[in-house]
Each structure stands twice: as C-alpha cells, then as structure tokens.
Structure 1
Amino acid sequence: MTLALALWRAGGLAAAPLLPLWLARRAARGKEFPARLAERRGIASLPRPNGTLLWLHAASVGESLSALPLIEALRRARPALSVLVTTGTVTSAELLARRLGGAAAEPSRSGAMPDSPWLVHQVAPLDIPAWVERFLDHWRPDAAVFVESELWPATLAALRRRGIRAALVNARLSPRSAARWARARGAAAEALSTFEVLLAQTRADAERLSSLAGRQVDTPGNLKHASAPLPADAAELARLSALLGGRPAWVAASTHPGEEQQVLAAHRAALAAHPDLLLILAPRHPERGEAVAALVAEAGFPARRRSQRQDPDGPVWVADTLGELGLWYRLARGAFLGGSLIAHGGQNPLEPARLRLPVAFGPHTANFAEVVEELLAAGAAMRVADAEALAAWATRIAAEPGWAEASGRAAQAAAGRGSAALDRTLAALLPLLPEEGYTAG
C-alpha cells in the first residue's frame, strides 16, 4: 500500500463519524434521496439478484448516458446477466429510472426498475473502507465496470483484495487531473492496476493514462457516439408542434450560472430581426428553474416555465424539467450547448447532432474536444465567442432554414459513427464475466 492510499484510508476513518450529518444536509438541499441515505454507507436496500452480476458505476448524468448503450449491449450479449448500476447524483438516478425503468420507477424510494427486473440501482457508497466492504459483502459482483473518470482509492483497493475483475471504460483524464495524479504517481499506478481493461475516450486521454499506468491504453472510440437519440413523448411532441405552428425556435441546452444572461442578450438581439423566434432555455440543473425564470423576467421577457405547466406563448420558455431534452431538440432548428461560455468545459454536442440539429458552443469545450473538432470539420457546428456571436448564429438559424437543415444533416452523419466504439468496448468486457449459467455462491 502506498503512503497516499494509507493517508486516504486514515482520513476516511477520521471523517466517517461526521459524514452522516453531511449527508443529511445534502438531502435537505435535494442533493441526496432522504429515504436512501443508508446506501451511501453501503447498506443495501434491495436483495442481490441471482446469477452473474455486473456492477457498473456511472457517477453523474454524462457518464450515465454513456453507459446506457453499453448496458443494453451487455444484456443482449448475455441474456441472463443482471446489472447493478450505481450513481453519485440524484439527477443521474432519476434519468436512469426514466430511460431504463419506465414510468413506474421511483428512484427516490428504491433502486428497483419495474420494467427491467434484471437491472437494479443503488446510490454509490462513499469511499470509506468499512462502507465499501459492506457494499461488496452484500452485492458480491462478478465484475465491475467504471465509466469515464471515477478513481476511488478505498473502493479500488477492495476490488483488488477480493480479486474482482474490473474495467475502466470511456476513460477521460484532463491535463489538470493528470498533473495532480503525477504528483502521486505511485498511488495512480496502484489505482489503475485494478483495471484489467483500461479503455480511453480519446488519443490524448490514452496518452495521459498510459503515462500514469505504465502500460499501453487502447482507444476504441467514444461511447457517447454510440448512444441512441434522446427520447421524446410522441403525443406531447405533436401537441407542442401544433401549438408552435412552424414558429422558429432554438434551444440553449444545459446552461450554467453566468451563461443565461448572455443567452438572453443574444436572443434579444436575434428578436430584432425575427420577432417570432422562440428561445427554449433549458438549464443544466432543472432545480434552478425559479432562479432562471427570475433572470428571464429581469431581461424583460415573460417568464414561462415548463415545470409550472405553462406553454410557450412568449419569446422565452424556461424548460426546467428533467429528461425532456429530446423533446426540446425536436422542436428546434438549432441548439447551443451550455457550459461553454464559462470555464466549465462544455456539454455533450452529440445529443442535438444525433437529432439532426446544427450546434453552437462557446470557447470552453475541453470536455468534448475531439467531438467538437469533428463537428466543426463536418460543417455541422459553430464556435461563438460571446453573446454577439451567438445572436448572429441564432439569427441565421431563423433566417436560413435551408442552411440549418444542411448543417443538421452533417451533424447527424458525424454523430452516427459510434457503433465501432460500442462493439470494441463490449468485446473487451465480455471476457471479464463468468460463462453463462454461472451461479454466485
């Protein structure tokens, strides 16, 4: 055990008595499920399924979306497989329940997926050795898959001790994170040695991971390319399409604090040329709906909110609900991706591209650098430096539907190159699982 890991374990033991109070405070702010706080301490709320069980961890929304096609592909390849999914955020749990568990799933009450009995969800245990051991004692996974960038020292050490075969897929390691890990190179190498399969999202990620792991890291492609188009309720889409009656619209999706004011300024400028243009403003965190509506009102627009069942009959509609981005994208001619006008790193531009929308993003797109470059090279996207440039893009969306359609077709073609990444990732993971028919003891 490295000194860094020993210090981490000691810090976890010291912090453990205080963490229940911290979790209760998070629950009071809507950051945890109050009824499921015990899961954070590794106390299961459901029985272990019989047979082979794969543990798949996807920390937040982005990782969860990347995992969806992989979960479905694993199930097709191994029909008897059960999957335990853990996440670290309320939003990601709710998204998975809607996408995999059907309308009856209630993530706030349990991790059962009524429409998918082979799939269960738990909130990830915090990285406290005793809590991780309790979690593993109950679930006894036959293999573990971590998506993107979750490296929890105590959890990984427990997997190594128990000989549980593990993989890190679609791995992402930013230059900043790589520099931090480089200062504890021994701990990084020890953590990464847990993974029998180590697959990176991009070539740059693979190089950084290879440097820390001391071994070659493969790059099968980005699983985000493999996702299916975001779903939308067909009846609601028909209703809203009829309500808009061909009115041009654009989406500002997954916006963050500090961006909405710029988006609203851009929309005001675009309205000067196209008074009927609709802005669908969808904050990254729907619980910010009230605050975003206040910004809309400050900008002089009526603050209509989806969460309040108010339809879009003004120039701005605040789309403050979860899991409906697929609906907004189908109503629009183009999409701006938030997290990019501020130093956040950007959100996933493939989701609107997959639905044949031209996309725009600001200067900060490090989280999706290769995807962004592919879309720019395909003529499917535009980088905007500020509100003025965003206004020009939104104006063009309204004024030139033919250009928007052609750009959208290019976006859809660029986004549809993910089947190889999924196939290669699946091929690497299947050997980690016991043969079909295995029964856990």
Structure 2
Amino acid sequence: MNMGLARMALLGYRVAGICLYPLASPYLDYRTFKGKEDRQRRSERLGFPSAARPRGPLVWVHAASVGETNAVIPLIRELLRRDIHVLLTTGTVTSAALVKSRLGDEVIHQYVPLDLKFPIKRFIAYWRPDAAITAESEIWPTTLSELSRRNIPQIRVNARLSDRSYARWQGYGTIAELLFGKLSLVVARSDVDAERFRDLGAWPVLTSGNLKGDTDPPPYDEKVLEGYMAQVGERRTWAAICTFEGEEEAAAFVHRALKPRHQQLTIIVPRHPERGDAVEAMLKEKGLTVARRSRNDAITPETDIFLGDTIGEMGLYLRMTEVSFVGRSLSEKGGQNPLESAMLGCAVLTGPNVENFRETYQQIIRKGGARMIRDTEMLAKAVHYLMTNDIARRKMIDSGHEAVQDMRGALSTTVKALEPYINPLTVSARLRPASANG
C-alpha cells in the first residue's frame, strides 16, 4: 500500500467513526447491561468530564486495565512528586476500582473515551494535557491523530507488541508507519519489543526493562490475613490466580486429585471477579465446598476452595500460600504477570502459553523461580511436589526473589527518558504560586 492509499484508509477510519457516533450510546448501554461499564460514569466514555481540570501542568496517563495500571503506579507517583497533576484513564471497571484503592484522590480518574472523533476532541479540549503517556499495546488512530494535531507529545512506556499484533501491523506497513511515526518517544519493555516498534516506524525507541519489576508488592489488610490464616490452621495451601475459563476446572481437578493425601485448601482467583457466580456453580457441581471472599465466608475445615472474587486483594491471596499457578496460560493464551507471585514469596507455576510475558518468564525460569507445566496432570504433580518438598519450594521462592531484584531499574530508566518532557512541566508547576494551583 502506497502512502496515498494509507492516508485514505486512515481518513476512512475517521469518517466511519463519525458515522458510527450515533450508535455509541446504544453500544455503551449494552456494555453497561453486561456489567462492563460503570452506569454512573458512562458519559466519560463519550468524552464528557466528571471532574474539574486543575490549574497548572497536567499529564494524561492511560493504562488499559489492571496489569498496566499496576505497572504505571510508580511512574505516576514520580510525576506527582514533581508537582505535576495526573489525569489517569483506564478502560475497565476493575481497573477503576484498583485506581481508587491504590491512588485515591492523588490522581484524577476518568474512563478513557471511545476512539471516535467527537469524544476524543471533547476530551482533549477540556483536559488540555501537556503530554500523553500510554502503557498499552493497542494503537488508537483517532487519539493519535488528534493529539498530534495539537502538538501534544505522545509517549509510550513499558511498551510491548505481542506476536499477533506485530504480525498484523506488518501487513499494513504504510499505515503503521503513519501511526507509529506520531509517537514522540517509545520506551520499550524489551529489546525485541523495541526492534518491533522501530520496524513499524516509531522513533526514537529506547529499552527500559519491565516497569512491573519496580512496582511495590500489592497491599493487604493485615487483620484480614491474620483471621484467614487462623482459619486455615495447619492445612497446606496453593493458589491458582488470574484464571480464565477452563483453568478453574483445572484447579478443581488438581484439588480433587490431591485431597486424599493433603486435605489442602485451594485458592482460586479469577482474572474477572464478576465470573464468581459461574465459577462457584461449577465447583459445587463437582462436589466441592466453596467459601467466597466477596461474601466474607469463613474458611472451615470442610472448605475445599477459597474463591477470591474481589478486586484489589491479590496481596491477600498470595500471602496465604507459597505455591502459585498463574493463569491465562493453559486454556487461554498470552499469560499473566508472574512478578507479584515471585515478589510475595511464591514458587511460580505456569502453562506454556505466555507469549505476552515471554521475557519475564524466561528470566524467572532461568533463575529457577518458576516452572512451566504442559497440562493439568503435570500441574497436579508440580503442586504435590512443591507442597511436600520444603527445600525445593524454598529454593524456588528465593530464586524468584533474586530474579525480581535483577529486573528492577526500569523506572529510573523510564524517568530519565521522560525528562525532556516532564522537567519543563516541573519547573512550571513549582514557579506557579501555591494559590494558583487550586
């Protein structure tokens, strides 16, 4: 495709967005009905603000969902430390809840507007960001174009491109060049990701490592943990976290296979807590007794499964065990972040489908902190081995800690790369009289 056709294709995308705008409200109504939108704040998705813009420099930070939000929290705190206001947008209800629990009123939170001309123009005109920092792999053409038209720097941090996304963009090379070329700076998660961004037209591109390695361990309520651990008593535990459909069934299989020997407690934490009812029904059909965190159920000696169907409590669930299977790796593809498990003292198990976290797993496995399993039967054997072999489990836990420490440093590299964009904002913020910031 030549450059002229590529420009026509992007124009067609924008025109299609304008034509489809009348359908945006019905679309959001449907998503609200499905529980995927916040009913009280759905207008934010159309670019209508629900908060006042503060005076002074403001950086728009976008994180698509929970994983990206956790990754950028240290960077956000660095911006706040420099007296820069932060507007944080996310795209899911669960990530919004995480922002509220982890950052509270430190940032202004809005749901990200749809990538349509009118919502995006409305959003940018109101918030007037001095820079836009995105921690996401998706490329939104209208957003990129509207920010570029206003000469607002667009920076991508912790940037990655999955195998599938990279292959897809390669098929539209000229369009990719037009879009990726609008990015002012890309700070990639790995050398592989950096090379992919360069190949698609981004420049300059730097490599920082994974920002998730610099995140703090997820918080927890100490009294709640003490209460649950007292209820667990001397029972052995293991956890299956960030699970998708099919992986809860695998965890149930493991539990039933090991129960005659261990009488263990299995902790299951679905990636999407709203699936709690369906997961509980499946477990009960298999004859398992379930205690749900969302109901504040007690863990009794008869409890088979502790279902962690709440938002923002991964720190609680991982501190209840030393063996963690990380989902979206057996029945689904892509994988989930294993760093929280390694940080909090768990021997990490994963399925083979971890392409979205390939480099992270490679480093932890190389150190000996994680083990890849092929199927459900192998998972059962690995859980049994780790629950009964204290020396092997402790060795994996220590190796996981070491791997996490080796991966730290991405935050300082990222902040250094951002200095040409954020240092002038810091100076402007600190020169402004305190009374003018209200």
TM-score, L = length of structure 2: 0.93
Query: Which sections of structure 1, spanning at least 5 residues, go unmatched?
Result: 102-112
Counterpart for residue 163 of structure 1: 151
Counterpart for residue 282 of structure 2: 295
Greater shift in the superposed pair: 182-191 or 141-150: 182-191
> What CA distance in whole angstroms lies between the structure 2 residues aligned with 1:156 and 1:73?
25
> What CA distance in whole angstroms lies between the structure 1 residues aligned with 2:26 and 2:397?
49
Assess if the C-alpha contact under 8 Å between 2:288 and 2:305 holds in 1. yes
Query: What amino acid does structure 2 have at the position aligned with 1:326?
Result: G
> What CA distance in whole angstroms lies between the structure 2 residues aligned with 1:263 and 1:384?
13
CA distances 1:291-319 after superposition (whole Å, capped 9, x unpaired): 10111112211122111211222121111
Counterpart for residue 110 of structure 1: none
Query: What amino acid does structure 1 have at the position aligned with 2:92?
Result: T
Counterpart for residue 355 of structure 1: 344
> What CA distance in whole angstroms lies between the structure 2 residues aligned with 1:357 and 1:343?
22
Candidates 266, 272, 275, aligned match of 2:260: 272
Q: CA deviation at 1:381?
A: 0.9
Structure 1 counterpart SS, 2:64: coil
Greater shift in the superposed pair: 80-89 or 67-76: 67-76
Counterpart for residue 217 of structure 1: 205
Structure number with the higher helix fraction is 2
Greater shift in the superposed pair: 367-376 or 182-191: 182-191
Counterpart for residue 379 of structure 1: 368
Candidates 420, 428, 434, aligned match of 1:437: 428
Query: Which sections of structure 2, spanning at least 5 residues, go unmatched?
Result: 1-5
Query: What amino acid does structure 2 have at the position aligned with 1:372?
Result: Y
Q: CA deviation at 1:352?
A: 0.6
Candidates 108, 111, 120, aligned match of 1:132: 120
Candidates 87, 98, 102, aligned match of 1:99: 102
Structure 2 counterpart SS, 1:56: strand
Candidates 318, 323, 326, aligned match of 1:334: 323
Assess if the C-alpha contact under 8 Å between 1:357 and 1:412 holds in 2. no
Structure 2 counterpart SS, 1:199: strand
> What number of residue pairs does the alignment pair up?
423
Assess if the C-alpha contact under 8 Å between 1:55 and 1:141 holds in 2. yes
Structure 2 counterpart SS, 1:416: helix
Greater shift in the superposed pair: 183-192 or 365-374: 183-192
> What CA distance in whole angstroms lies between the structure 2 residues aligned with 1:16 and 1:347?
34
Assess if the C-alpha contact under 8 Å between 2:186 and 2:203 holds in 1. no
> What CA distance in whole angstroms lies between the structure 2 residues aligned with 1:374 and 1:333?
20
> What CA distance in whole angstroms lies between the structure 1 residues aligned with 2:202 and 2:390?
51
Assess if the C-alpha contact under 8 Å between 1:203 and 1:219 holds in 2. yes
Assess if the C-alpha contact under 8 Å between 1:252 and 1:337 holds in 2. yes
Counterpart for residue 109 of structure 1: none
Q: CA deviation at 1:216?
A: 5.4
> What CA distance in whole angstroms lies between the structure 2 residues aligned with 1:265 and 1:359?
19
Structure 1 counterpart SS, 2:266: strand
Map 1:228-267 → 2, pairs under 5 A: 228-267=216-255
Counterpart for residue 308 of structure 1: 295
Assess if the C-alpha contact under 8 Å between 2:79 and 2:85 holds in 1. no
**1:194 matches 2:182:** yes
Assess if the C-alpha contact under 8 Å between 1:270 and 1:391 holds in 2. yes
Query: What amino acid does structure 2 have at the position aligned with 1:192?
Result: F
Q: CA deviation at 1:344?
A: 2.1
Structure 2 counterpart SS, 1:45: coil
Q: CA deviation at 1:273?
A: 2.2
Query: What amino acid does structure 2 have at the position aligned with 1:27?
Result: T
Map 1:400-439 → 2, pairs under 5 A: 400-433=389-422, 434-435=424-425, 436-438=427-429
Counterpart for residue 3 of structure 2: none
Assess if the C-alpha contact under 8 Å between 1:294 and 1:303 holds in 2. no
> What CA distance in whole angstroms lies between the structure 2 residues aligned with 1:293 and 1:385?
26
CA distances 1:212-265 after superposition (whole Å, capped 9, x unpaired): 116452211111111110111111111112222232111100110111111111
Counterpart for residue 130 of structure 2: 142
Structure 1 counterpart SS, 2:200: helix
> What CA distance in whole angstroms lies between the structure 2 residues aligned with 1:218 and 1:345?
24
Assess if the C-alpha contact under 8 Å between 1:280 and 1:319 holds in 2. yes
Q: CA deviation at 1:53?
A: 0.2
Assess if the C-alpha contact under 8 Å between 1:60 and 1:92 holds in 2. yes
> What CA distance in whole angstroms lies between the structure 2 residues aligned with 1:4 and 1:258?
39
Query: What amino acid does structure 2 have at the position aligned with 1:310?
Result: D
> What CA distance in whole angstroms lies between the structure 2 residues aligned with 1:19 and 1:215?
34
**1:88 matches 2:77:** no
> What CA distance in whole angstroms lies between the structure 2 residues aligned with 1:12 and 1:353?
43
CA distances 1:104-155 after superposition (whole Å, capped 9, x unpaired): xxxxxxxxx2xx2xx1000001011121111011000011101131311011
Over the matched positions of the two proteins, sequence identity in percent amounts to 40
**1:53 matches 2:61:** no
Give me the CA root mean square deviation: 1.6
Q: CA deviation at 1:175?
A: 2.0
Assess if the C-alpha contact under 8 Å between 1:352 and 1:359 holds in 2. yes
Structure 2 counterpart SS, 1:17: helix
Assess if the C-alpha contact under 8 Å between 2:338 and 2:361 holds in 1. yes
> What CA distance in whole angstroms lies between the structure 1 residues aligned with 2:194 and 2:367?
24
**1:37 matches 2:42:** yes
Q: CA deviation at 1:331?
A: 0.8
Candidates 17, 22, 25, aligned match of 1:17: 22
Query: What amino acid does structure 1 have at the position aligned with 2:45?
Result: R
Q: CA deviation at 1:437?
A: 2.7
Counterpart for residue 104 of structure 1: none
Greater shift in the superposed pair: 215-224 or 54-63: 215-224
**1:282 matches 2:262:** no
Assess if the C-alpha contact under 8 Å between 1:58 and 1:88 holds in 2. yes
TM-score, L = length of structure 1: 0.93
Structure 2 counterpart SS, 1:417: helix
